[in-house]
Every structure is written in structure tokens, then in C-alpha cells.
Amino acid sequence: MPGKYALCFPGQGSQSVGMGREIFETFPCAKAVFEEADDALSSHLTSLIFAGPEDELTLTKNAQPAIMTVSIAALRVLTDEMGAEISPVCMAGHSLGEYTALCASGVISFWDAVRLVRERGRLMQEAVPEGLGGMAALIGAKPDDAVKLCETVAPGGEVRPANYNCPGQIVISGLSEYIDKAISQAKTFGVRRAVKLSVSAPFHSIYMKPAAEKLREEFAKISWNEAKYDIIANVNAKPVKSPAEIQQSLYAQTFSPVLWENSAAYMSAELGVNAFYEVGPGEVLSGLIKKCIKGAVTVSASTPSKLEELRKLLQE
């Protein structure tokens, strides 16, 4: 069994109506996490997660705290109810998931974290009027080609790469009219397929800078601790641990590309990680990691049966 592993936490897009219901109904500690989220947000987030409607759950300000809540509830089940002792080499998360990793590593309390990511979602949503910004996935694109495409259709920087997810999958972000131009010209830059994403704002683009400035003000309102485990930051694919460098990386992450492919490579090549355990809803990160690291062991866990499978792996 692989000896060195990382715990990873999913980002926006992994949400689905009904996620986490099984652990909520089975484990008291999971139910307590959901109830704490409702109290912290003064809202019925749990009802929205379990019953929808889907279009409301998908709103950035709801999806972010919802995914975090399910992820932290699953982690608590693993450690508190199932008695698993965790000793990851590091933790990492995709965009929103980086905040979950910080909570899991003791940097910020769950109460503060879930309130912070709801505010993050609201600020990101409001940074650009709806319809003016968007994102697109470039399938089969090389990094240099994605950059050239963006520079050609938007020489003023109106659209740029926002997510380097895995080999052959790069997401671009920016103003909608330039996203459309990039999609129409993508094939001439060696891109196999360009797909417009169903998002309401140009995340991880320069248009998120105003949100980042306001978010930094929110950082000052809560308590921060040194991380128990290294957190691999999205913004530079390097470990961060102190509160000061963590806050700076989160600030920059808001308007900078998510370097997930580089993060996976760093964890594998530099830290010797060969197993990646995704704690939270969906299997997005596990799928990306398999494309980034050949032969990597992955497990996605947010149900009782998958968490039990993960517990057994951690014991071996």
C-alpha cells in the first residue's frame, strides 16, 4: 500500500442535490457539521443541499459553502466516528477546495471558513455583471497554445488561462465576447475542442481583483493559525504554512490561474506522494490526478461505504 498520501478537497462544480445526505443521516458528527453551517450562515443551507432547487444550489455563494460543508463532514466522519488517524504528507484543494484544506489543517475554524467562502462566493459573483464574463474549457490544448490563443483574440488581456487542470485540459476566463472569439478560433491554435462553461462569472481572471481586495478585508476579521500540514497553494503549486503566506496566496488565487497540474506534479515528484485521497462530493479531482500522474492511487470519499474503504487504506 502506498505510504505517502495527500488529502485533496474538491472545488465548485462538484456539487449535486442530495450530496452528503447519507453521512448526515448515519453519523452524528456529520449532522453536527451541517447544523453548524446553518447556524454560522443563519440560513437553511442543509435543506438547499438535500432538496435543491439545483439552480439555487449552483449559485456561487451557495455552492461554495455547500461543498465545504460536505467535505468537512466527511472528514469528521473519517477521523471522529471511524477513528482513522490521518498523517498526510500535505493537503491541497482546487480553488474553493483550498479553503477546505485550510480548515482541515486547522488554519481556520469551520465556523469562520464557511462564512468566509460564502462571502467569497458573493464577492466573486458581484465583481462582474451577469452575462459580461464567462469561461471555456480548451480540450486537447497545450499551455503555450492556450496562451497564444488568448493573446491573439484579446491582446489587452480580456481573456486568459484560469485553470491548468491536467494535460490537455485548460480553462480560460474573461469577458464573454472574447471568450466567444477564442472558441471560434481555438482549432487554428491546435485545440481539439472548445466548450463554453455554464458559469456566471469569469473566475480566476483579472476581473476578480476587486473581489480579492474585499476578501482581504474579510481575512482580517478572523483568527488564523499555522497549518498542521503543508498546503499546496493553487497560485504557485508550492507549500504554504504560515498565516501571512496563506493569506497572500488566497488573495492572489482569486484572480490568478489555478495550477492544479503543477500542484499534482509537485506532490508526486517533490514530496513522493503516490496516493491522493479526495474527501468530499464528486470525483473531479481524482479524475484530473489520474491524468496528471500515471499510476497514482486515488479514492473519492463522501459516502459511508467509500469512507470506510478509505479508513481501511489509512490503517494499512
- Please give the positions annotated as active site: 95, 204
Cell numbers 462553461: residue: 197
Instruction: Give every strand in the sheet of 297-301, ordered side by side.
Output: 239-240, 230-232, 90-93, 5-9, 275-279, 297-301
Q: Residue 273 and residue 306: Cα distance in Å, rounded?
A: 21
Distance CA 290, CA 300 (A): 12
Number of H helices, E strands in the chain: 14, 10
Residues 282, 278: Cα–Cα separation, whole Å? 9
Rounded CA-CA distance 145/139 in Å is: 11
Dihedral Cα 97, 169, 294, 75, nearest 10 deg: 10
| Residue where the block lists cell 468566509 | 116
Q: Cα(148)–Cα(133) distance, rounded to whole angstroms?
A: 20
Q: Which amino acid makes up residue 82?
A: M
Pairing of strands 169-175, 133-139: antiparallel
The answer to whether the CB of 123 falls within 8 A of the CB of 61 is no
Distance, C-alpha 120 to centroid of its chain: 13
The cell numbers describing 33, all together, are 457539521
Burial level of 226, CB count in 10 A (0-12/13-18/19+)? Answer: exposed
